[in-house]
Structure 1
């Protein structure tokens, strides 16, 4: 053990060591909580990604079949093929913007604010 600084008693050094150990323990538990939440978030994200791949495949197939069905019906009623393809392209283009909006909104809601608020509460809580 080190010698106490100028004029510091051994009791003060012991108290100082105890405060340091307490802070180290607190920091270790905070980092452990963050690591645990990160592991849960990554595992949940991987599972969500796998499920969404299946959903995307099914939705894409359904969307293409729906467009093909509408195109066949329109063709049977005498609409021009160019007009049908142009309309299908516009419908697909605008629906991609709707999906992009949903992706941006979902990404905006993914954060670690709850963990941060639990570890370091704000004055408003």
Structure 2
């Protein structure tokens, strides 16, 4: 009985030059992939650090804007008080102004959330069968 040819017989027929060239290609591709992945990891690290810094700065901006808004309401209340408006009327007006401002901001948040639609990106990457 004859034995079927094994893969060992194939490797014996390959020349050492072909094997070493193939090994060099594998090593160079591994090196290239490692450098690309390292660059991607470095970019991600820089992005996360920048995002954390941006978040901290935005918290500071929000705090200052909130303080400014409250000072504007307080200034308007003090001016109204100096002109003889009732304290209850001033407080109700300030509450109504704050409520309307919050409603406007909530409306803007809703519009922004509607515009944050990733379906265009998904359709570009994975087109639906209707297209």
- TM-score (normalizing by structure 1): 0.62
Larger radius of gyration: 2
Give yes or no for contact 1:71–1:84 (8 Å, CA) kept in 2: yes
User: Within 5 A, what are the aligned runs for 1:26-41?
Assistant: 26-41=32-47
The runs of at least 4 consecutive aligned structure 1 residues that moved more than 6 Å come to: none
Match of 1:94 in 2: 104
**Distance in 2 between residues matched to 1:70 and 1:94, nearest whole Å:** 20
Residues 1:9 and 2:19 aligned together: no
**Distance in 2 between residues matched to 1:55 and 1:36, nearest whole Å:** 28
**Distance in 2 between residues matched to 1:6 and 1:42, nearest whole Å:** 52
Higher relative contact order (CA 8 A, sep 6+): 1
- For structure 1, the 5+ residue unaligned runs are 109-125
Structure 1 residue 47 displacement after superposition: 1.8
Residues 1:53 and 2:59 aligned together: yes
**Distance in 2 between residues matched to 1:30 and 1:15, nearest whole Å:** 22
Aligned residues: 103
Residues 1:66 and 2:76 aligned together: no
**Distance in 2 between residues matched to 1:40 and 1:9, nearest whole Å:** 47
